[in-house]
Every structure is written in structure tokens, then in C-alpha cells.
Amino acid sequence: MEPSRIIVWRILPLLTTPLLSRFLGLLRAGTEEDAHELRQRIETLCGGVTPETWSFEIDPVHAGAVYAAVDRGEEVCVSDLQRAPIDRQRMLPCIALLLDRGGKSYVLPDPELPLQRGDRILFTARAGTRQVMSWIRHNPKALEYVVNGNEFPDGTIWRWLASRRERKTG
């Protein structure tokens, strides 16, 4: 491969995921042991396959359901984004690497850290996890389930069945 292509492939992720550059700089400032431990966690998580890395902002465009919930005063934590929308007790195969809040960076943020509007978060994960998390970020019903465990029937038939169940128990 040509040297210029190698350089492009090495810097492309840094250009498309700006928080990755900040994270790598902060990681270099840490200890060798911390970096080694994180590498092992990522390898275990992804089974030796190259992980996906992406970032997004808690805003109406990139995380509409989360933004709306936080705007209403509801608490949504980093760990809520990491829950499986089918079974909220199960965690998605991902790691929150960095949370940027108003210029302050939290490396490997506490999973119970409440999110705020404008937060920017960098994740790494097994392939396919990004799409699942995107659904949580944008779908209010999915978010409500992972945060509080409340399930809402979706679709005409399911809503009708739920209303019948409520009448029988009520």
C-alpha cells in the first residue's frame, strides 16, 4: 500500500470522529497499565474483531428522545444508553470511552453519570451495536423502557389488547 494511503487510513477515523482524537490524547497522558487494561476490555468485548467507534451529541438531531427526556427533567444516565432494548437487564457490548461536557472531559465516564443537553459521548462497541443504540437515542418508547422498564404497546392491535387487559384488571 502506498504511504499516502496508509496515512489517510490512519487519520480518517480522527477526522470523522473528533472526540476520538481527544480521547487518544488523554489516554496517552494516563498510565501504561490503564491503557493495557482498556485494550484488554475492548478485545474481550469485540472478540478480537476491530470495534466500531462513534460519537454523538445529546441534541434534538443526534439523540432526540434523550434530549427531550432530559429537557423534561428526567434523568437519563450513560448506562441507560448501554442497555439492550429487548431486555433492559442485559447490557449492550459497548464501552463509553469519553464524555465531553462544556469542554470538560470524562474518560471512561461513570455509567451512572446523568446526561445533560449538549453532552458529547464517544463509544466503542462490537459491530451492530451502534444501530441498536441509535434506536434507543431516537425512540421515546425504547428509551422509556431502558430507563424505567415501562413498556408501551405499539401498533393498533397491541394497543387494543393492552386496553382490554387494563379493563379486566381495573
Domain span at residue 150 reads 3-169
**pTM for this entry:** 0.82
Q: Mark residue 80 as left, alpha or beta (left: phi above 0; alpha: psi -120 to 50; beta: remaining).
A: alpha
Q: How many domains does the chain have?
A: 1
Per-residue pLDDT of the chain (170 residues; tens, 9 = 90+): 566 555 555 555 555 567 888 898 898 888 899 999 999 999 999 988 889 999 999 999 999 999 999 999 999 999 999 999 999 999 999 999 999 999 899 999 999 999 999 999 999 999 999 999 999 999 999 999 999 998 876 767 656 656 766 776 66
Q: Which CATH number is 110's domain given? A: 3.30.70.1450
Residues 6+ apart with CB under 8 A from 150: 144
Q: Cell digits for 50?
A: 476491530
Burial string for 20-47 (b: 16+ CB within 10 Å, else e) reads bebbeeebeeeeeeeeeebeeebeebbe
